[in-house]
């Protein structure tokens, strides 16, 4: 306060001095001013300067806030900014007082404020929680020492206030019972003295020891050092297993999961013996041994063990310090050199065995086990393959025929990893090295030491190398059989001192384990059905839910409601109808992984009926007329009939008394199986009336016989007897005379038929590998014509041992020929989806009518195409043949019935006689160096693989093969992938076909043909080096004349141009022979320039001559004016050869020339593909994104072909693409 008055006085003095000075200077009038008791003079009429606001000290009860300056004795507040001095003035300061607020905290409650003098509201009594005591609240106190209690009735707030809660403790006791004893009293919060560890009760005495004390009910472990009593409770002892040795069957690991190799039976466990010792050699008595578990009363330390079970002894050691058990895996007892049924292993001196190790060095087959025959088995071994023997066919034999395998006896299936680190398969009767197929490459880290495993699961085989699945292989060649190892082609590199070694041999035949094993990687499918009507069975077990194993057949049985019968059934999934097999063995189908199936059933009223079975010779129905293939008298005594009632699942045998036997039925669907002369026919019928009949067609077809004519008797391979049921690499399938299984190289005749006019047919499985044209020598089909001579071996003259085959592959009808055992000119001649639709049936019938050199092809009795084949003109027999593959051809039949042949020929649609031709020429990207993947092409557009029926192809794709010309040449067939410079390569023709088919198709009746002649690495300019030095270059005659080049026929200059004209002439003549009378060349796709890109100006000159000469010379071949023949120029890629700057600049300059030429010439169009890169720079390094640095990849080649097709449609044909 003194400080304030001093400041006020100081201000007044300063003001006074100022005023006096003013008075003195100006003589102004002044008056007296008093502010809070301080006086000074001020000029009348002037404003006062407001002094600093004073402060007033707070009291315990109040605090003060300055309000302003007031005229003394009044409530009039002085306004320093407006009020002026008129007379003597006295101002005093005034303050506003406010009752003070203080913070209050009561115990743990939130802090709040209360006014001075106010009373507090008593809060709820607090509770003090403690794990070991109870407390009673005793009031709120003013001090931490809890001496002075706060009285909420009288005490008021006079300052900051803190109240403290006071509690008084209360002692409490609880009853504690230990292991069923008498209760003991313990004070809350006290510890319990730990009792002694009890012994295990009698029922656990030999397997368990004391573990811990726990609180009953909660099972919480009690810690006697830290846990305290808090309530009544009971502690009980718990017990744990003693240290256990688990004796288990050996396991194997596949695809990251362990599977038992075999099972140890309860009897074998009961006879198990064990010896346990400490590290010092002291014997340890085990408490007990039960169900393969040895119980040991030990706690820690090192121990050794010897365990014998199932005739096998396992030894080892274990540490018991930080574990409660140890697992001993007992190796499987393996018999090597056992039997298959009663058939022994090979007895020759070519193998020996030690324990679970097999050594083989010459021809041998060695069974594992003692007679087991199964179609479910897993076999594995650690293989050592001597380096010197690589190329031999030695490995695991998961299946074989159930006859002697010696010599040329029963067939063996063998898998081996051998030469080139490749996985091989072989099905062969005998000891040869043929019939070996590469199934996968680079399958092992070492091709001399690896682990090989094979799972046979029915007709599907899974091959594992070093624990990884490398192959899924299907064949229906084998029934349940023995298994083991085979050495069928020792190759001279094996010896007793350096043999093929299979050690640690193991096998699994337990069905449950194999089902689990197969299910893990086969996957599952889902089948929805009305379970009250449809029952599913798989692997001889009823399926309870909807999940089934994929790839394994699921059998359907039915239960009709009372008074109803099953009149039909179907299985479908989101991809459409599913093939269901129905025969005397049951009704079943094969589910695929991940798919969802729906089984639908049609019901009808039950009716007592008589079903008549009309027995007839097999016939084909055309336009409602039946034509018998062979009119023979049926001997009823040779007929065996069974009738499957779908409703009840019962099978009834019917003995025919005549050719129209009857059977009593109750309505619904029935499946009749007829066997006649070992041929089987299956027919289904739905009975809804009291009287019903069905035609049963019987076949007398006889495969494996002889064909006699022209003074010569032809025999099935190789010189088989007249009534043979098997021969070299062939046998009747399941004993049926019309169905043949073949392997390797072989042929089988249909008995008796001989001539030049005949019809033959057979059924093919469509799950054969899709035809790729890169299957090399592999082919199976109907032998539709041959030289009537001994066809074994290779021909020594022109076509002197010629055979012509036709077969079904996927959706393709395929044709090939061979003058020995090597297929040649294999072409796809039809895509039968036009006939059967896009859904691929499981089995397709191919029929071929020969009439001299004219051949008519039918699929499921519908005509698909006609071909003229002049390779064979002589009379001959028919049959089936096989080249280097495994196959079964079903229900073969043949006929010379003139009425049938006439009726079939009448089904054939005559071609229009007109065909438009397009020529492909150039270097490697025209020839086709682009490698393709068949599955990728199928996924992109199936017709890339199967072709389009109205877009044909013929030509020669050349390449340089050392110092000679190599080629891939095909006669007329459908345009498709595989027609490049190699069987696994493609150019633009396949994709051209997919676009051109919108104009050339079945509906329009228009036909196009593509003729190709091209050679990789060749030039249009007169370059005679590099690849031009082998096959010549493309120099056209006018350009050669202008330049003065030697243009003799044997000159390299222009040789490719001349060969092109030869190729076109050859193909045009073939079309004429096939009946085409109006042949028009419509355009040329010229894909060349990479070899000449450094000389764009000269190239432009040569190109002018080329187009002019080709228009003239091609017109001469077809006798038409082609002076305006359209040319399509394919740009080279801007990164052809490399993506570096210099190369790209060179390429772009050449592309600019190509574009400029097309833009300045009539009927010349540019195929703008230069932007499709073959190479790219990645971090400054060139990386090929094409097949290699010079050739486009398969995706870009499809794009190129489609663009060529679009140009043809829009620019040449003048139609919308």
89-99 β-sheet, strand order: 38-43, 30-35, 89-99, 62-71
Among 469-473, 482-486, 683-687, the minimum mean pLDDT is found in: 469-473
CATH number of 706-909: 2.60.120.560
pLDDT at 553 over 90: no
DSSP 730-781: EEEGGG-TT-EEEEEEEEEEBSS--BSEEEEEEEEETTSPPP-S-STT-EEE
Is the Cβ–Cβ distance between 992 and 1091 less than 8 Å? no
Spatial separation of the C-alpha atoms in residues 526 and 548, rounded to whole Å: 6
For residue 485, the SS3 value is strand
Q: pLDDT tens digit string along 1045-1084?
A: 999 888 999 999 999 999 999 999 999 998 899 999 999 9
Q: pLDDT tens digit string along 871-904?
A: 999 999 999 999 877 788 999 999 999 999 999 9
Q: pLDDT tens digit string along 390-402?
A: 667 899 999 999 9
| DSSP element (H, E) containing 670 | strand 668-676
Under CATH, which architecture does the 339-519 domain have?
Sandwich (2.60)
pLDDT at 960 over 50: yes
Question: Which is nearest to 790 in space by CA: 741, 739, 728, 747?
Answer: 747
- Superfamily (CATH) of domain 101-170: Listeria-Bacteroides repeat domain (2.60.40.4270)
Among 14-18, 373-377, 502-506, 591-595, the minimum mean pLDDT is found in: 14-18
* CATH T-level topology, domain 173-241: Immunoglobulin-like (2.60.40)
b or e along 980-1018 (b: 16 or more beta carbons within 10 Å of the residue's beta carbon)? bbbebbbbbbbbbbbbbbebbbeeeebbbbbbbbbbbbb
pLDDT at 490 over 90: no
pLDDT at 959 over 60: yes
More confident residue, 1098 or 834: 1098
Q: Would you place residue 23 in the very low, low, confident or very high pLDDT band (cuts 50, 70, 90)? A: very low
Query: Tokens for 662?
Result: 């009857």
**What is the reported pLDDT for 839?**
58
**What is the reported pLDDT for 895?**
97
Structure letter (DSSP) for residue 409 = -
More confident residue, 335 or 515: 335
Spatial separation of the C-alpha atoms in residues 1056 and 356, rounded to whole Å: 64
Q: pLDDT tens digit string along 90-144?
A: 989 899 999 999 999 999 999 999 999 999 999 999 998 876 677 889 999 999 9
Is the Cβ–Cβ distance between 150 and 142 less than 8 Å? yes
**What is the reported pLDDT for 795?**
65
- Superfamily (CATH) of domain 609-698: Immunoglobulins (2.60.40.10)
User: Residues 55, 60, 62, CA angle at the centre, nearest 5°?
Assistant: 55
**What is the reported pLDDT for 529?**
94
* Distances, alpha carbon 231 to alpha carbons 177, 185, 189, 777, in Å: 11, 11, 9, 89
Structure letter (DSSP) for residue 1212 = I
- The pTM assigned to this predicted structure is 0.67
**What is the reported pLDDT for 1086?**
98
Query: Tokens for 677?
Result: 């002369």
Q: Would you place residue 958 in the very low, low, confident or very high pLDDT band (cuts 50, 70, 90)? A: very high
Return the HEC string of 152-216. Answer: CCCCCCCCCEEEEEEEEEECCEEEEEECCCCCEEEECCCCCCCCCCCCCCHHHCCCEEEEEEEEC
Average pLDDT over residues 1099-1122: 97
Average pLDDT of the chain is 89
Among 321-325, 332-336, 1143-1147, the minimum mean pLDDT is found in: 321-325
| DSSP element (H, E) containing 597 | strand 596-605
**What is the reported pLDDT for 16?**
45
- Superfamily (CATH) of domain 2-98: Listeria-Bacteroides repeat domain (2.60.40.4270)
pLDDT at 18 over 60: no
In the chain, CATH 2.60.40.4270 covers 2-98, 101-170, 173-241
b or e along 503-512 (b: 16 or more beta carbons within 10 Å of the residue's beta carbon)? ebbbbbbbee
DSSP 750-762: BSS--BSEEEEEE
Preceding amide of 718 cis, omega within 30:
yes
Spatial separation of the C-alpha atoms in residues 1022 and 1045, rounded to whole Å: 8
**In 10 A of CB 820, how many CB atoms?**
18
Question: Which is nearest to 836 in space by CA: 806, 810, 815?
Answer: 810
Query: Tokens for 844?
Result: 């397709």
Average pLDDT over residues 819-837: 85
User: Are β-strands 134-141 and 161-170 bridged in parallel, bridged antiparallel, or unpaired?
Assistant: antiparallel
Is the Cβ–Cβ distance between 709 and 789 less than 8 Å? no
pLDDT at 450 over 70: yes
Spatial separation of the C-alpha atoms in residues 434 and 437, rounded to whole Å: 9
**What is the reported pLDDT for 491?**
64
Structure letter (DSSP) for residue 495 = B
Q: Would you place residue 15 in the very low, low, confident or very high pLDDT band (cuts 50, 70, 90)? A: very low
**What is the reported pLDDT for 30?**
84
**In 10 A of CB 542, how many CB atoms?**
10
Average pLDDT over residues 591-597: 90
What percentage of the chain reaches a pLDDT higher than 90? 62
Q: Would you place residue 1194 in the very low, low, confident or very high pLDDT band (cuts 50, 70, 90)? A: very high
**What is the reported pLDDT for 435?**
64
Return the HEC string of 362-398. Answer: CCEEEEECEECCECEEEEEEEEECCHHHECEEEEEEE
Structure letter (DSSP) for residue 1092 = G
**What is the reported pLDDT for 328?**
93
Return the sign of the alpha-carbon dihedral for residues 1135, 1137, 1140, 1141: negative
Average pLDDT over residues 821-843: 79
For residue 323, the SS3 value is coil
**What is the reported pLDDT for 840?**
57
Residues pairing with 965 in the sheet? 960
**What is the reported pLDDT for 581?**
82
Spatial separation of the C-alpha atoms in residues 441 and 696, rounded to whole Å: 49
In the chain, CATH 2.60.120.560 covers 339-519, 706-909
* Distances, alpha carbon 184 to alpha carbons 192, 633, 844, in Å: 10, 105, 89
Q: Would you place residue 2 in the very low, low, confident or very high pLDDT band (cuts 50, 70, 90)? A: very low
For residue 1143, the SS3 value is helix
Average pLDDT over residues 802-824: 90
Return the sign of the alpha-carbon dihedral for residues 1076, 1081, 1085, 1091: positive
- Cβ-based neighbours of 79, under 8 Å, separated by 6 or more: none
pLDDT at 1184 over 90: yes
Q: Would you place residue 444 in the very low, low, confident or very high pLDDT band (cuts 50, 70, 90)? A: confident
Spatial separation of the C-alpha atoms in residues 418 and 448, rounded to whole Å: 7
**What is the reported pLDDT for 770?**
43
**What is the reported pLDDT for 746?**
92
Residues pairing with 288 in the sheet? 295
Spatial separation of the C-alpha atoms in residues 326 and 247, rounded to whole Å: 9
b or e along 317-343 (b: 16 or more beta carbons within 10 Å of the residue's beta carbon)? ebebeeeebbebbbbbebbbbbbbeeb
- Cβ-based neighbours of 1108, under 8 Å, separated by 6 or more: 1036, 1038
**What is the reported pLDDT for 584?**
66
**What is the reported pLDDT for 489?**
67
Spatial separation of the C-alpha atoms in residues 504 and 358, rounded to whole Å: 9
Q: Burial level of 566, CB count in 10 A (0-12/13-18/19+)?
A: buried
**What is the reported pLDDT for 385?**
86
pLDDT at 473 over 80: yes
**In 10 A of CB 426, how many CB atoms?**
25
| DSSP element (H, E) containing 1066 | helix 1055-1073
Q: Which of the four CATH numbers 3.50.30.50, 2.40.128.50, 3.40.50.1110, 2.40.30.10 does domain 916-1212 have?
A: 3.40.50.1110
**What is the reported pLDDT for 769?**
47
| DSSP element (H, E) containing 979 | none
Is the Cβ–Cβ distance between 727 and 748 less than 8 Å? yes
**What is the reported pLDDT for 834?**
77
- The phi, psi pair for 816, rounded to 5°, reads -150, 170
More confident residue, 1116 or 40: 1116
Question: Which is nearest to 627 in space by CA: 858, 826, 793, 401?
Answer: 858
3-state helix, strand, coil in the chain (%, to 5): 15, 45, 40
* Distances, alpha carbon 624 to alpha carbons 660, 894, 908, in Å: 22, 21, 17
pLDDT at 3 over 80: no
Q: Would you place residue 28 in the very low, low, confident or very high pLDDT band (cuts 50, 70, 90)? A: low
More confident residue, 1059 or 21: 1059
Whose tokens are 């300019």? That residue is 1021
Question: Which is nearest to 113 in space by CA: 102, 121, 98?
Answer: 102
Spatial separation of the C-alpha atoms in residues 732 and 1009, rounded to whole Å: 42
Q: pLDDT tens digit string along 1002-1045?
A: 899 999 999 999 999 999 999 999 999 999 999 999 999 999 99
Q: Would you place residue 715 in the very low, low, confident or very high pLDDT band (cuts 50, 70, 90)? A: very high
Is the Cβ–Cβ distance between 845 and 780 less than 8 Å? no
State the maximum Cα–Cα separation within the chain, in Å, rounded to a whole number: 169
User: Residues 1041, 1046, 1049, CA angle at the centre, nearest 5°?
Assistant: 105
Spatial separation of the C-alpha atoms in residues 691 and 1017, rounded to whole Å: 76
Q: Burial level of 1164, CB count in 10 A (0-12/13-18/19+)?
A: buried
Residues pairing with 683 in the sheet? 672
Is the Cβ–Cβ distance between 1114 and 1125 less than 8 Å? yes
Residues pairing with 968 in the sheet? 957
Spatial separation of the C-alpha atoms in residues 923 and 1027, rounded to whole Å: 10
Among 78-92, 652-666, 923-937, the minimum mean pLDDT is found in: 78-92
Q: Would you place residue 1098 in the very low, low, confident or very high pLDDT band (cuts 50, 70, 90)? A: very high
pLDDT at 4 over 50: no
């Amino acid at each position: 306060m003194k400080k304030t008055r001093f400041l006020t006085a100081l201000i007044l003095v300063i003001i006074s001095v100022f005023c006096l000075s003013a008075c003195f200077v100006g003589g102004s009038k002044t008056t007296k001013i008093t502010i809070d008791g301080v006086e000074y003079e001020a000029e009348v009429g002037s404003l006062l300067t407001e002094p600093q606001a004073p402060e007033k000290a707070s009291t315990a009860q109040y605090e003060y806030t300055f309000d302003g300056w007031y005229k003394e004795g009044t409530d009039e507040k002085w306004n320093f900014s407006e009020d002026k001095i008129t007379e003597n003035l006295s101002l005093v300061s005034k303050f506003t007082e406010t009752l003070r607020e203080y913070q209050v905290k009561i115990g743990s409650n939130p802090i709040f404020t209360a006014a001075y003098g106010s009373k507090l509201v008593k809060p709820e009594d607090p509770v003090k929680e403690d794990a070991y005591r109870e407390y009673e609240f005793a009031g709120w106190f003013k001090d931490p020492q809890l001496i002075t209690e706060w009285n909420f009735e009288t005490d008021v707030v006079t300052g900051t206030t803190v109240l403290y809660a006071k509690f008084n403790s209360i002692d409490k006791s609880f009853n504690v019972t230990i292991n069923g004893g008498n209760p003991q009293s313990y004070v809350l919060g006290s510890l319990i003295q730990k009792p002694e560890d009890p012994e295990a009760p009698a029922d656990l005495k030999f397997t368990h020891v004391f573990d811990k004390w726990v609180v009953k009910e909660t099972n919480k472990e009690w810690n006697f050092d830290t846990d305290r009593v808090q309530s009544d409770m009971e502690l009980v002892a718990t017990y744990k297993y003693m240290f256990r040795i688990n004796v288990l069957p050996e396991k194997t690991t596949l695809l990251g999961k362990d599977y038992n190799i075999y099972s140890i039976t309860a009897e074998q466990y009961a006879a198990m013996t064990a010896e346990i010792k400490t590290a010092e050699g002291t014997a340890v008595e085990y408490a007990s041994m039960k169900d393969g578990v040895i119980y040991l009363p030990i706690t820690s330390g090192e121990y050794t063990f010897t365990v014998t079970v199932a005739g096998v002894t396992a030894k080892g050691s274990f540490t018991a310090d930080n574990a409660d058990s140890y697992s001993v895996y007992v190796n499987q007892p393996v018999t090597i050199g056992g039997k298959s049924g009663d058939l022994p292993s090979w007895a020759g001196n070519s193998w020996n065995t030690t324990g679970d190790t097999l050594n083989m060095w010459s021809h041998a087959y060695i069974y594992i086990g003692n007679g087991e025959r199964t179609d479910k088995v897993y076999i594995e071994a650690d293989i050592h393959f001597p380096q010197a023997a690589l190329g031999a066919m030695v490995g695991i034999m998961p299946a074989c025929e159930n006859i002697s395998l010696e010599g040329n006896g029963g067939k063996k299936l063998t898998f081996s990893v051998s030469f080139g680190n490749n996985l091989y398969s072989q099905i062969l009767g005998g000891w040869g090295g043929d019939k070996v197929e590469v199934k996968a490459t680079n399958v092992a880290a070492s091709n001399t030491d690896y682990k090989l495993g094979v799972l046979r699961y029915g007709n599907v085989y899974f091959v594992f190398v070093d624990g990884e699945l490398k192959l899924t292989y299907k064949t229906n060649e084998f029934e349940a059989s023995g298994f083991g190892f085979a050495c069928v082609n020792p190759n001279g590199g094996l010896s007793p001192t350096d043999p093929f070694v299979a050690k640690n041999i193991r096998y699994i035949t337990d069905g449950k384990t194999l089902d689990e094993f197969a299910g893990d990687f086969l996957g599952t499918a889902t089948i929805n059905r009305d379970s009250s009507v449809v029952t599913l069975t798989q692997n001889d077990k009823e399926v309870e839910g909807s999940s089934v194993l994929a790839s394994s057949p699921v059998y359907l049985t039915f239960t009709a409601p009372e008074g109803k019968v099953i009149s039909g059934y179907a299985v479908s999934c989101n991809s459409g109808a599913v093939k269901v097999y129905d025969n005397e063995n049951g009704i079943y189908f094969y589910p695929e992984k991940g798919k969802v199936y729906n089984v639908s059933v049609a019901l009808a009223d039950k009716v007592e009926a008589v079903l008549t079975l009309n027995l007839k010779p097999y016939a084909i129905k055309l336009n409602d007329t039946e034509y018998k293939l062979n009119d023979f008298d049926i001997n009823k005594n040779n007929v065996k009939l069974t009738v499957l009632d779908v409703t009840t699942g019962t099978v009834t045998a019917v003995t025919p008394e005549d050719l129209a036997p009857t059977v009593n039925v109750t309505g619904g669907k029935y499946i009749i199986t007829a066997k006649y002369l070992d041929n089987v026919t299956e027919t289904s019928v739905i009975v809804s009336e009291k009287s019903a009949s069905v035609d049963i067609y019987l076949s007398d077809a006889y495969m494996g016989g002889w064909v006699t004519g022209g003074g010569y008797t032809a025999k099935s391979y190789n010189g088989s007897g007249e009534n043979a049921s098997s021969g070299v690499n062939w046998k009747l399938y399941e004993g049926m005379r019309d169905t043949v299984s073949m392997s390797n190289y072989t042929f089988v005749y249909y008995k008796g038929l001989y001539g030049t006019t005949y019809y033959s047919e057979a059924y093919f499985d469509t799950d054969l590998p899709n035809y790729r044209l890169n299957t090399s020598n592999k082919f199976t089909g109907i032998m539709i014509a041959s030289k009537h001579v001994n066809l074994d071996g290779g021909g020594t003259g022109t076509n002197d041992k010629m055979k012509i085959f036709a077969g079904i592959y996927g959706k393709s009808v395929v044709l090939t020929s061979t003058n020995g055992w090597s297929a040649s000119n294999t072409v796809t001649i039809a895509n039968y989806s036009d006939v059967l639709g896009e859904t691929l049936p499981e089995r397709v019938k191919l029929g071929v009518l020969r009439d001299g050199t004219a051949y008519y092809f039918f699929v499921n009795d519908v005509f698909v195409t006609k071909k003229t084949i002049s390779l064979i003109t002589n009379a001959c027999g028919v049959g089936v043949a096989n080249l280097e593959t495994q196959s079964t051809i079903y229900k073969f039949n043949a006929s010379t019935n003139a009425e049938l042949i006439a009726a079939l020929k009448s089904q054939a649609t005559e071609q229009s006689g007109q065909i438009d031709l397009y020529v492909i020429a150039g270097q490697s990207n025209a020839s086709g160096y682009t490698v393709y993947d068949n599955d990728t092409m199928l996924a992109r557009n199936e017709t890339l693989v199967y072709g389009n029926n109205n877009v044909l192809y013929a030509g020669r794709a050349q390449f340089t093969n050392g110092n000679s010309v190599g080629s891939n040449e095909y006669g007329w067939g459908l345009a498709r992938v595989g027609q490049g410079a190699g069987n696994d390569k493609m150019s633009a023709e396949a994709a051209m076909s997919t676009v051109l088919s919108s104009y050339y198709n079945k509906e329009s009746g228009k036909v196009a043909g593509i003729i190709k002649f091209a050679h990789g690495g060749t030039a249009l300019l007169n370059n005679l080096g590099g690849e031009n030095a082998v096959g010549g270059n493309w120099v056209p005659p006018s350009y050669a004349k202008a330049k003065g080049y030697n243009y003799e026929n044997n000159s390299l200059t222009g040789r490719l141009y001349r060969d092109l004209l030869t190729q076109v002439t050859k193909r045009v003549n073939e079309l004429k022979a096939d009946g085409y009378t109006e042949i028009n060349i419509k355009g040329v796709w010229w894909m060349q320039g990479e070899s000449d890109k450094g000389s764009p100006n000269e190239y432009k000159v040569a190109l002018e001559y080329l187009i002019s000469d080709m228009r003239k010379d091609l017109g001469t071949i077809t006798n038409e004016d082609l002076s305006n023949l359209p040319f399509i120029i394919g740009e080279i890629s801007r990164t052809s050869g490399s993506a570096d700057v210099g190369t790209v600049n060179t390429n772009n300059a050449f592309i600019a020339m190509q574009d400029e030429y097309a833009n300045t010439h009539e009927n010349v169009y540019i195929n703008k593909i230069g932007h499709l890169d073959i190479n790219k720079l990645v971090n400054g390094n060139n990386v090929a994104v094409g097949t290699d640095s010079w050739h486009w990849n398969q995706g870009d080649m499809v794009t190129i072909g489609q663009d060529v097709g679009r140009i043809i449609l829009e620019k040449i044909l003048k139609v919308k693409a």
